[in-house]
Amino acid sequence: MIDYGRFAMRAQSLAIQPCPEVNDPPDYTISNGAKAWMKTNLRSDYLRGPGTITYNKTTTSTVNASITGTTSAEAGVIFAKASVSLAVSVGASYSKADSWSYAATVPAGKTMRLQQYKEGRSFTVQKYRIVPPCKVKYLWKKKAVAPVSSPSYLWQLIS
């Protein structure tokens, strides 16, 4: 037989206790994910057109994520959450040693060079924590850009 009096007292005592998430560490939400192209360290010399500019080197392409005001440990948590939320693996940096070769035509009268871009994702991250009585308190909101882990690149002429 159920003791309804004891059950009601237990339910009432649970109702007045703070939610268990109040003491949890801060957490993050990821939103507004979009493809972004990030400049790498690889670029050619300038060429005044008309002419063909060629980049042909064996070297390492590198790019770093951009999110200001966070520790490396916090950034690691953010990139892990972003990877799940965006359904693509992103990280703090990307580096690849390879032989790179690309050419493009510079129009007459223009001075341009080739620039390599690495595929990344831009997103918004919000840091929050649960405070009594079970309310969400947002601590900050920032924009971030991080390279994806797959080797996808774009070469473009820039001024």
Q: Are 9 and 97 in contact (CB under 8 A)?
A: no
Amino acid letter at 46?
Y
Check residue 120 and give its pLDDT. 98
pLDDT at residue 13, as a whole number: 46
For residue 57, give Cα distances in angstroms to 43, 97, 98, 106, 111. 10, 10, 8, 20, 21
Element counts in the chain: helices (H) and strands (E): 2, 7
State mean pLDDT over 63-92. Answer: 94
pLDDT higher than 80, residue 12: no
pTM of the model: 0.84
Where is pLDDT greater, at 121 or 71? 121
Query: Angle at Cα 81 formed by Cα 79 and Cα 83, nearest 5°?
Result: 65
